């Protein structure tokens, strides 16, 4: 209790607080090389993250089933949820386990999938490729080897094949049916940790450098870029041991970026990065916002995702343009929030918004503004906090214990704006340390209500003031704020850092800071192209190299 409090007090009273936070960690400096070791700009020795297990996410699991059985396949809907930790479902997947209720869901889903495939004798026999009904046959053993290699995304050992073949025979006996025996044996392949998790263990490469194996890299690349198991080209390359070579890795990544699934998959990164899944459950007060329809929230999400796709896959330009562009897409739902006439239906229409300084970029989309607001009220604090934490990569400590966090009571005789009340709140030095860093960014966006519609007065008829000072720079409103944010060096660096964290499924710490700095340099050198960031990432030492998992006992 003591330490958290004193730390907060130190932060809140330090005049150089902001600059302390925007330290070199977000500025690219190539790590010094000394005796073959890499160091970050602050002198920390580079040590890659430990190899770990990654539980397949729901889309990955569906794609893994599809890869094995093909269409048609109705993927069971009742699967364990994809949580997020530190924004990303990938990080949650590298921390979570399988609880009893989730094991139940996996078991039910496995049989639901197998039932579909085995319902048709023709489909079943085509899958197995052996005479109908035989089990104790070399042909079945070969099927098990091929199927399991594909399902577990690595070569299976003879011992593993023997065990599974014996299981199939045993089950065929129990069930009195050869094909049923094979079906149930496949249920053991598909409930296996080798299928439900992406297993990274790593291997010792030349010169004792510990790294991910070729097979592990095949899955790392494939699930990162297309949320699916390795395709034939990757499997072949893995078999030949080619995927420890950065040039080979890069060539496969370039190829996968052309796959249509790469769009969906990188959009999922963006969805986590901006917390967009929450828009599917948009909860706003209908009495206050007549623009609301059942599809508004998802439409807001899709609009933002389309802007991402346009930037990354169509224009392939500077990723920071996303923060300032007036080019967007609208459908009837979001057009209503923009107050734009003549757009009907849910299809998307490309538009260029007027150059009036109101609507530059992704931070002025209804989705962003609605997401970082309450059910009826705006929240300059939430909007500012999101930008500070997720676009500047600067953390905000929590409020200290025991202070009253309630905003001052408005005087009914002298109406005040939310901004005025927050200003008063920040006269308390216990609050100002952090709120000074969040609220002013949000004030520049106060011209948008809790669903992101433009306004010049608030619900009490009070004039909205969007002038603000962000990290020492004066801004008049959303236009200036967006230009400023896009130009801050730590914003470009932060995007690279977050993609690194998502891809490697761990937070960048001091031990791999050098790898992040290299990635940031590469991003800057490639003019902030997101596709180039992806290619720099997959060949980055922090992504290709691993540390062996610690076997030290951790006692709670």
Partner 1 sequence: MNLKKRIQPSRRLFLRGMLGGAAVAVGLPLFDFMLNNHGERLAEGAEIPTRFGLWFFGNGVHLPTWTPPTVGPDWNVPGDNALTALLPLKEYVSVVSGLSVKTSFHPHHSGMAAVCSGGPHLKIDDVRDTIVSTMKYPSIDQVAAEYFQSQVKSPYKSLEASVTRFRGTDEGTQFQYLSHNGSSGGETNVNPSEESPHAFFERLFNTGTTGPIIAKARGSVLDAVGGQIKTLQGKLGTKDKQRLEQHLTSISEIQSRLNIPTAQCTKPGDPGDFPDLASNEQIAEKNKVMSDLMTLALACGLTRSFSIQYSTCGSGAVFWMVGATDGQHYMNHTEPAPYTKQQEAVRFTMKQLAYFLDKLKGTPEGTGNLLDHCSIFVSSEHAEGWSHEQKDMPMLICGKGGGRLKGNVHARIPDGNVSMGPFTALLGAGLPLTAFGHEEGYVTSPVSDLLT
DSSP for 99-136 reads -HHHHHHHHHHHHHHHHHHHHSHHHHHHHH-S-TT--S
316 vs 375, beta carbon nearer partner 1: 375
Question: Rounded distance, CA 93 to CA 197, Å?
Answer: 9
Question: Rounded distance, CA 479 to CA 476, Å?
Answer: 8
248 vs 275, beta carbon nearer partner 1: 275
314 touching partner 1, by CB under 8 A: no
Give yes or no for a contact between 489 and 26, defined as CB atoms under 8 angstroms apart: yes
Site residues for partner 1, 529-548, by CB under 8 A, read 548
Site residues for partner 1, 491-510, by CB under 8 A, read 506-510
Site string for partner 1, 172-191 (x = CB under 8 A): --xx----x---xx-xx--x
129 vs 509, beta carbon nearer partner 1: 509
Kindly tell me which residue out of 398, 412, 461, 472 binds partner 1, with binding defined by CB under 8 A.
398
Report the nearest approach of partner 1 to the CB of residue 121 (Å).
20
Site residues for partner 1, 401-440, by CB under 8 A, read 401-409
516 touching partner 1, by CB under 8 A: no
16 vs 101, beta carbon nearer partner 1: 101
463 touching partner 1, by CB under 8 A: no
170 vs 327, beta carbon nearer partner 1: 170
Largest CA distance in the chain: 89
Candidate ranges 161-169, 220-228, 313-321, 339-347; the one touching partner 1 (CB under 8 A): 161-169
DSSP for 384-413 reads HHHIIIIIS----PPPPTT---PPPPPPTT
Candidate ranges 122-130, 233-241, 328-336, 375-383; the one touching partner 1 (CB under 8 A): 375-383
Site residues for partner 1, 26-55, by CB under 8 A, read 50-53
399 touching partner 1, by CB under 8 A: yes
The residue written with tokens 């150089």 in the block is: 16
Give yes or no for a contact between 394 and 470, defined as CB atoms under 8 angstroms apart: no
Report the nearest approach of partner 1 to the CB of residue 429 (Å).
17
Where are the strands (E) in 334-389, listed by range? 349-352
Question: Rounded distance, CA 334 to CA 202, Å?
Answer: 47
Distances (CA, A) of 445 to 304, 359, 380, 495: 17, 10, 7, 21
255 vs 382, beta carbon nearer partner 1: 382
14 touching partner 1, by CB under 8 A: no
Site string for partner 1, 199-228 (x = CB under 8 A): x-x---------------------------
Report the nearest approach of partner 1 to the CB of residue 175 (Å).
6
Question: Rounded distance, CA 37 to CA 40, Å?
Answer: 10
364 touching partner 1, by CB under 8 A: no
Give yes or no for a contact between 138 and 169, defined as CB atoms under 8 angstroms apart: no
Strand partners, 39: 45
User: Which residue, among 401, 398, 380, has the nearest Cα to 467 in the 3D structure?
Assistant: 380
374 touching partner 1, by CB under 8 A: yes
Kindly tell me which residue out of 163, 430, 432, 539 binds partner 1, with binding defined by CB under 8 A.
163
Strand partners, 457: 463
Distances (CA, A) of 503 to 89, 222, 237: 11, 11, 21
170 touching partner 1, by CB under 8 A: yes
Question: Rounded distance, CA 366 to CA 372, Å?
Answer: 10
389 vs 453, beta carbon nearer partner 1: 389
Distances (CA, A) of 406 to 375, 399, 426, 441: 18, 12, 12, 21
Site residues for partner 1, 258-297, by CB under 8 A, read 275, 278, 281, 283-286, 288, 292
141 touching partner 1, by CB under 8 A: no
Query: Residues in contact with partner 1, total (CB under 8 A)?
Result: 88
Q: What letter does residue 545 receive in the DSSP assignment? A: B
Site residues for partner 1, 56-115, by CB under 8 A, read 78, 80-81, 83-86, 92, 95-104, 107
């Amino acid at each position: 209790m003591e330490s958290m409090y004193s730390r907060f007090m130190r932060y809140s009273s330090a005049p150089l607080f902001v600059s302390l936070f925007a330290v070199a960690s977000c500025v690219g400096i190539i790590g010094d090389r000394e005796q073959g070791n890499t160091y970050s700009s602050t002198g920390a020795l580079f040590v890659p993250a430990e190899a770990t297990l990654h539980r397949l996410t729901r889309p990955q699991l569906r794609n893994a089933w599809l890869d094995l059985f093909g269409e048609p396949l109705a993927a069971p809907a009742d699967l364990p949820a994809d949580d997020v930790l530190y924004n990303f479902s990938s990080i949650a997947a590298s921390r979570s386990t399988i609880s009893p209720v989730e094991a139940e869901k996996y078991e039910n889903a496995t049989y639901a999938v197998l039932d579909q495939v085995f319902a048709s004798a023709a489909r079943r026999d085509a899958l197995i490729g052996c005479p109908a009904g035989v089990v104790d046959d070399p042909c079945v053993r070969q099927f098990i080897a091929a199927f399991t290699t594909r399902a577990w995304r690595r070569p299976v050992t003879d011992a593993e094949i023997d065990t599974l073949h014996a299981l199939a025979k045993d089950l065929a006996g129990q069930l009195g049916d050869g094909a049923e025996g094979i079906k149930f044996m496949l249920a053991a392949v598909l409930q296996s940790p080798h299928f439900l998790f992406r297993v990274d263990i790593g291997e010792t490469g030349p010169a004792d450098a510990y790294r991910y194996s070729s097979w592990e890299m095949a899955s790392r690349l494939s699930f990162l870029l297309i949320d699916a198991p390795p395709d034939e080209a990757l499997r072949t390359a893995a078999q030949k041991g080619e995927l420890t070579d950065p040039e080979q890795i890069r060539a496969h990544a370039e190829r996968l970026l052309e796959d249509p699934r790469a769009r969906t998959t990188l959009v999922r990164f963006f969805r986590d990065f901006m917390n967009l899944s929450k828009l599917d459950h948009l909860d706003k007060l209908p009495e206050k916002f007549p623009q609301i329809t059942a599809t508004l929230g998802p439409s807001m999400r899709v609009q933002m995702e389309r802007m991402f796709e346009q930037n990354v896959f169509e224009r392939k330009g500077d990723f920071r343009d996303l923060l300032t562009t007036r080019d967007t897409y609208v459908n009837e739902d979001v057009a209503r929030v923009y107050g734009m006439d003549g757009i009907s239906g849910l299809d998307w229409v490309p538009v260029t918004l007027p150059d009036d300084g109101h609507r530059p970029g992704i931070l002025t989309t209804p989705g962003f503004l609605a997401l970082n607001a309450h059910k009826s009220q705006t929240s300059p604090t939430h909007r500012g906090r999101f930008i500070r934490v997720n676009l500047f990569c600067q953390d905000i400590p929590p409020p200290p214990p025991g202070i009253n966090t309630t905003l001052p009571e408005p005087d009914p005789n002298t109406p005040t704006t939310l901004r005025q009340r927050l200003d008063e709140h920040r006269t308390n030095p216990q609050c100002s340390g952090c709120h000074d860093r969040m609220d002013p960014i949000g004030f520049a966006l106060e011209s948008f209500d809790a669903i992101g519609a433009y306004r010049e007065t608030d619900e009490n008829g009070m004039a909205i003031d969007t002038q603000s000072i962000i990290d020492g720079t004066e801004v008049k409103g959303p236009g200036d704020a967006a230009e400023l944010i896009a130009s801050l060096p730590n914003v470009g660096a932060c995007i690279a850092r977050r993609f690194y964290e998502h891809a490697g499924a761990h937070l960048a710490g001091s031990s791999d800071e050098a790898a992040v700095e290299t990635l940031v340099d590469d991003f800057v050198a490639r003019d902030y192209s997101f596709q180039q960031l992806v290619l720099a990432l997959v060949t980055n030492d922090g992504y290709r190299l691993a540390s062996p998992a610690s076997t030290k006992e951790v006692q709670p």
